[in-house]
A and B are shown apart, each in its own frame.
Chain A
Amino acid sequence: MTTNTQTLGPPRTHVGVLGWLRKNLFSTWYNTLLTLVSMWVVYTAGSRFLVWALTTARWGVITTNLRLFMVGPFPPEQVWRVWLCLVIASLLFGLSAGIWKGTVRTLGAGLAATYVVLVILPFGINTRIWHVANLGALIVGFLLGYAASRLPDNKRSIAQRGLLVAWLVTIVLVLFLLQGWKGNTWLPEIGSNLWGGLLLTFMLALISIIASFPIGVLLALGRRSRLPAVSIFSTLYIELVRGVPLVTILYMAQIMVPLFLPGQMRIANVVRVIVGMTLFTAAYLAENVRGGLQAIPSGQVEAAQALGLNNALVTLFIVLPQALRLVIPANVGLFISLFKDTTLAVIVGLLEVLSIGRSVLAQAEWLGRQTEVYLFIAAIFFVFSYVMSYASYQLEAALGVGKR
Chain B
Amino acid sequence: MTSDTKDIIICQDVHKWFDRLHVLKGINLTVRAGEVVVIFGPSGSGKSTFIRTINRLEEHQRGTIIVDGIELTHDIRNIATVRSEIGMVSQQFNLFPHLTVLQNITLAPLWVRRWPKDKAEQIAMDLLKRVGIPEQAYKFPAQLSGGQQQRVAIARALAMQPKIMLFDEPTSALDPEMIKEVLDVMTELAKSGMTMICVTHEMGFARSVAHRMVFIDDGQIVEQGTPSEIFTQPRHDRTKLFLSQILR
Residues of A in contact with B (beta carbons under 8 Å apart)? 297, 299-300, 302-310, 313, 317-318, 321-322, 325, 399, 401-404
Contact = CB atoms under 8 A, between A and B. Distances in A.
B246 interface: no
Interface residues of B, number: 29
A39 B242 CA distance: 72
Contacts of A325: 98
B209 interface: no
Contacts of B111: 309, 313, 317
A396 to B, nearest CB: 13
Interface in B108-157: 108, 111-112, 140-142, 153, 156-157
B44 interface: no
A158 B17 CA distance: 51
A307 B156 contact: yes
Contacts of B142: 402-404
B97 A306 contact: no
Nearest to B108: A307
B52 to A, nearest CB: 8
Contacts of B39: none
Interface of B is mostly: mixed
B195 interface: no
Nearest to B57: A302
13 contacts: A299-B90, A303-B88, A304-B107, A305-B57, A306-B55, A306-B83, A309-B108, A313-B111, A317-B111, A321-B98, A399-B98, A402-B140, A403-B142
Contact of A303 (B86, B94, B98): B94
A308 B83 contact: yes
B160 interface: yes
Interface of B: 55, 57, 76, 80, 83-84, 86-88, 90, 92, 94-100, 107-108, 111-112, 140-142, 153, 156-157, 160
B97 A402 contact: yes
A44 to B, nearest CB: 50
Contacts of B96: 300, 303-304, 317-318, 322
A307 B90 contact: no
Contact of B90 (A303, A308, A402): A303
Contacts of A308: 80, 83-84, 108, 112, 160
A199 B92 CA distance: 52
Contacts of A303: 88, 90, 94-96, 153
A250 B142 CA distance: 47
B196 to A, nearest CB: 15
Contacts of B141: 402
A305 B83 contact: yes
